[in-house]
Amino acid sequence: MRRRAIYAFCGAVLTCLVVTGAVAGPPSGPSNPEVARLGQDLKGLLGTAHWRHALWSVLVVSLDHGDTLFAQAPDSTVAPASNMKLLTTAAALRELGPDFRFRTYLVTDGSVDGGTLHGDLVLYGTGDPGLSDRFFPSRTTPFEKLADDLLAAGIRTVAGDLVGDASYLPGPLRPAGWDAADLNDHFAPAISALSFNENVVSVRVHPAAKAGAHPSVESIPDHASLDVDNEAVTVTRSSRARLWIDRRNPTDPILVGGTIARGGRDAWRELTVSDPAAFAISVFRTVLEDRGIEIRGTDRVVRDPTASLVGSSEISAPSSGTRRRTRILAHLVSPPLREYLAVVNKRSNNLFAELIFRTIGRVETGEGAPVQSARQVDRSLTDLGVDMGPVVQLDGSGLSAGNRVTTGTLVDVISRMENSPLWGEYWATLPEAGNRRELARMFRTPAAGNLRAKTGTIDGVSALSGVVQSRDGERLAFSMVVNGTPSTSRAKRLENGVGARLASFTRGPDAVLPESIVRLPPPPVPVDSAGPSRHIVTSGESFSTIARRYGLTLDELRQANPYVDPLRLRVGSRILIPAAPDAGSRTP
């Protein structure tokens, strides 16, 4: 994922580090000529990029032998880009657990009488980033479920306001370390406890029927309450048209200007929303009204915990009496955390990473600000045995240019997790080389289907850290990060060469291997990597064929997808895949 950021490096110092970075063999025992040859090959690969002001920091360690196979400036602190997600996801598994689930509530302190809720209806978020079509059949499916639960409870009218409560995580919407130039782009959305559609919206501009008129401007999803300044003009088809959709910063109105040809194609742009909670309840209001539920009040947002119904009240079960107390009317439960962590590492999704990061701090300390969350990640990984001394963590995603880590720390995290009971869960979140939906690189090399690693890219930075098996089956943990590169694409080609070389490494026929080489965990059932429990419908498939593929009955698949018509499956639709009954807690 390409990012813009600004880095200042001291050329003389970094050049010295690159030149003097030593290739280290095993710390003890006789030297192995194959290990020496590996070091020469890797040093030669990295040396092909003659970048005067770049720093390569690389470390390769055998998880089975325990020796260092290659090291180049492994203790230098570098900006890790999205490799910071390796720390966030490891701490999340340890502190929250793979089965942790987010919850979103409809609450009120009003009373229900004759189908009318006398009071406000509050949509209360606790940081779930998955209220979108990534884990549901459509964007609005989660809101439709909440609306149906209200109808089932007999509520047809809300006399009060519709409130979006995002007070559970009152931290900044936009981390201070993020580049302001990125904040309109989909990969840098605002971070809110109440998020919807991953806090992005698509703007569609359609030409008017006659020249001289303003084109129409729509949003997807509908009714997103966008603030739009439409100055564009429709022109004849023979005229030269040039339309632009822009915004200086996420809190400004969207500017639509220029010209668009009558009868021509629509223009599109995806933008982050300025206020996620306001965006969520604007769409939720439309869903409620479509379901026949009237909202008499206005929309408003709560961010201050002291102003929240939940912040100082005990939530109880629904009731229809006159006693004023905060109670739950309906709620949603997210998929397990393990599936969200796959989105973080395989899709490098920054919103998922940041909300999980802040949830770690909120759950452990009662505060979800980045500072508290970073302290909890530090504490968790220090308890695991990782040296966190060199780490500077400003966010959970790695998008901030000010994050710092060493490749020694990244390898240490992988090594320590490999010795923990959570290794299988952690390893399964990493993208697989040669897989076009995960890490398509290194296709048709020994690394394909073997190497698993997290990528990282911001301006001037490229990173790849993970684990690969050698030709002998030996597991190698590695991390390579370059700072100051003028070409991240070329840096990634070098990373591909290193990964393939590690996969083909052998200590030779006379090498003494450990008594028992522990193989990497088997890969999970191959489903769409954007969400491990989803299946993307292809041509010719039916509910029956999908159920058979995953070892489910037709009823089990239907129960998991109550909003999907089995007789009207569309190619590209997303189907939720529940765990098979005989699979225990295994995630398909």
Q: Give the end of a domain, one of 297, 312, 334.
A: 334
Classified as helix, coil or strand, 48 is coil
Q: Where are the alpha helices (DSSP H) in 299-349?
A: 337-346
Structure tokens at 544: 């029956």
Classified as helix, coil or strand, 419 is coil
CB-based contact 272:184 (threshold 8 Å):
yes
Order of strands, sheet of 475-483, starting from the edge strand that comes earlier in the sequence: 68-72, 55-62, 475-483, 461-469, 452-458
How far apart CA 173 and CA 199 sit, in angstroms, is 11
Q: Give the end of a domain, one of 464, 487, 503.
A: 503
Q: How many domains does the chain have?
A: 3
Q: What DSSP string runs through 178-203? A: S-GGGTTSTTS----SB--GGGEEEE
How far apart CA 545 and CA 363 sit, in angstroms, is 41
Is the domain of 209 the same as that of 316?
Answer: yes
One-letter amino acid identity for 535? H
Structure tokens at 100: 């942790």
Is the domain of 87 the same as that of 114?
Answer: no
Strand intervals (E) in 177-326: 200-206, 216-220, 228-230, 233-235, 243-246, 254-261, 267-272, 294-295, 299-302
Tens-digit pLDDT string for the chain (588 aa): 444 443 333 333 333 333 333 333 344 334 789 999 999 999 999 999 889 889 999 999 999 999 999 999 999 999 999 999 999 999 999 999 999 999 999 999 999 999 999 999 999 999 999 999 999 989 999 999 999 999 999 999 999 999 999 999 988 999 889 999 999 999 999 999 999 999 999 999 999 999 999 999 998 888 777 889 999 999 998 788 899 999 988 889 999 999 999 988 899 999 999 999 999 999 999 999 999 999 999 999 999 999 998 865 445 444 444 446 789 999 999 999 999 999 999 999 999 999 999 999 999 888 889 999 999 999 999 999 999 999 999 999 999 999 999 999 999 999 999 999 999 999 999 999 998 889 999 988 999 999 999 999 999 999 999 999 999 889 999 999 999 999 999 999 999 999 999 999 999 887 666 654 555 654 433 333 344 366 777 777 888 888 877 778 888 888 777 767 777 777 667 787 875 443 333 232
Judge whether 463 lies within some domain.
yes
How far apart CA 184 and CA 251 sit, in angstroms, is 10
Q: If we measure between CA atoms, which residue out of 106, 574, 96 comes closest to residue 344?
A: 96
Query: Residue 92: phi, psi to the nearest 5?
Result: -65, -45
Judge whether 519 lies within some domain.
no
Assign residue 380 the CATH number of its domain: 3.40.710.10
Query: Residue 534: phi, psi to the nearest 5?
Result: -115, 150
Structure tokens at 130: 């998955």
Query: Residue 19: phi, psi to the nearest 5?
Result: -70, -40
How far apart CA 287 and CA 273 sit, in angstroms, is 19
Is the domain of 125 the same as that of 272?
Answer: yes
Judge whether 499 lies within some domain.
yes
Query: Residue 144: phi, psi to the nearest 5?
Result: -65, -40
CA dihedral 296, 297, 299, 301 (to 10 degrees): -140
Is the domain of 274 the same as that of 391?
Answer: no
For residue 551, how far is the Cα from the chain centroid?
29
Judge whether 430 lies within some domain.
yes
Domain that holds residue 396: 11-97+337-503
Classified as helix, coil or strand, 240 is coil
Judge whether 201 lies within some domain.
yes
